[in-house]
Amino acid sequence: MHLDFHRHLEGSHSATALVEVARELGIKDPIFYDAEAHRYRTSGELRAQVTMDGPTDDLTVFYNRIVSARAAYVSVQAISALTIRAFGDAAVDTDGCEMRVSLFSMARTLIDNQRGSWREVPPVVFADRYARPILLAVLAARDEVVAATGTPLVVRVGLSRTFESEPHYQALAGMVIEHAPALIGVDVLGIPASHEREPLPLALVRVLDRLRLHLPDLTIHAGELEGADAVERALALAPQAIGHGVRSLEEPATVDRLAKSSVTLEVCPTSNRLLIAADIAALEQAYAMTPLRALQIRHVRCVLGSDDPTVMGTSFRRELEVARREGVDLDRIKADSERRWTEMTGQTPREKASVIRQVENGM
């Protein structure tokens, strides 16, 4: 089965979806609307704003694509419309998908786009008036697409390691806990504007400890922008999975530790070639094979992810094809994927799909 374990909502808004929603809701931000020509841009014109055109060492090139898509976050209605389309694309592209939702950044962006200042919004108001309606819209969109397609889709809440405000994060965590039964777990993500690219601030760890009482399945982005030391810091928190993790290969002891653990690496080949091309090239030279294949040979559990498919100009099926061309053991990917899905949900993908069909049929 084609299971995508690492897909971010904010990087999944296609140019077509953005143009459609901008037209439907009259969003005339210059990114979507050409005021001089009195017309909305075409999806082809917009694509250059939201999709990278090649590898870069400048992470702002990636981040600016996300920011462009976020310009459409002018209302919960707009976010809902975009999310339905993003889940629909995932359902077509996969046999099951875990979508990651950076709830803090989405709420912050909504406030900013409505000409407010999120720092002036009290933490509880931030969580209840802004973040909660977004989360409910995302969950409703997920449920709508699952009912229409029968494809298992799950939602993981992401917390950024940039960690702008502990009171706001704590209020957000309290609200998320109320909706824990509808979620699959928590993710640590984000690209801080500092020399340390994959930090785990102590205050953030306190929030994670609180959330894990209700959402025990933890994933952490590590071993992408930093090396094996970042993977070791992540492993100290006993996550179930690590996003990316390919640079663990820089330290054989870290690879051995991963192989002896039950931790799964979520490898995103196209994303890594776009954002850390030099590191990938160095690993390929050192191991005479791609990082994913090298990890498999060393008995590390690995699954695939599309990461930010719009920004990266990819899809999950393209990631499978890339893995096939690079000699990855796809049977092992399948076995590791089904094991990880069962670990997350308590059901195999086939059992989950069967439950969905029964609910649709009113059984």
> Can you say whether residue 216 is alpha, beta or left, with left for phi > 0 and alpha for psi between -120 and 50 degrees?
alpha
pLDDT given at position 1: 80
How many of the other CB atoms lie within 10 Å of CB of 239? 23
Judge whether 44 lies within some domain: no
Judge whether 41 lies within some domain: no
Three-state secondary-structure class, residue 244: strand
CA distance between the termini of the chain: 25
For residue 187, what are the β-bridge partners?
158, 219
Query: Taking Cα atoms as reference points, which of 86, 71, 80 lies closest to residue 17?
Result: 86
For residue 158, what are the β-bridge partners?
102, 187
pLDDT given at position 351: 60
For residue 100, what are the β-bridge partners?
8, 156
Judge whether 323 lies within some domain: yes
Q: How many angstroms separate the Cα of 20 from the Cα of each of 28, 82, 168?
A: 12, 9, 33
Token reading at 286: 């050192």
Over residues 143-158, the mean pLDDT reads 98
Cβ partners under 8 Å of residue 177, min gap 6: 210, 211, 214, 215
Per-residue pLDDT of 195-247, as tens digits, reads 789 999 999 999 999 999 999 999 999 999 999 999 999 999 999 999 999 99
* Stated pTM of the model: 0.95
Q: What is the total count of domains within the chain? A: 1
**For residue 342, what is the domain's CATH number?**
3.20.20.140
> Confidence band (pLDDT; 50, 70, 90) for 359?
very low
Judge whether 78 lies within some domain: yes
Judge whether 52 lies within some domain: no
Residue type, 48: A
Query: Taking Cα atoms as reference points, which of 163, 148, 149 lies closest to residue 198?
Result: 163
What is the rounded CA–CA span in Å between residue 21 and residue 85? 10
How many of the other CB atoms lie within 10 Å of CB of 137? 21
What is the rounded CA–CA span in Å between residue 319 and residue 93? 11
Judge whether 278 lies within some domain: yes
Instruction: Decide: 167 and 113 in contact? Cβ < 8 Å.
Output: no
For residue 188, give its domain range. 3-12+61-360
Judge whether 35 lies within some domain: no
> Confidence band (pLDDT; 50, 70, 90) for 347?
confident
Over residues 90-113, the mean pLDDT reads 98
Judge whether 22 lies within some domain: no
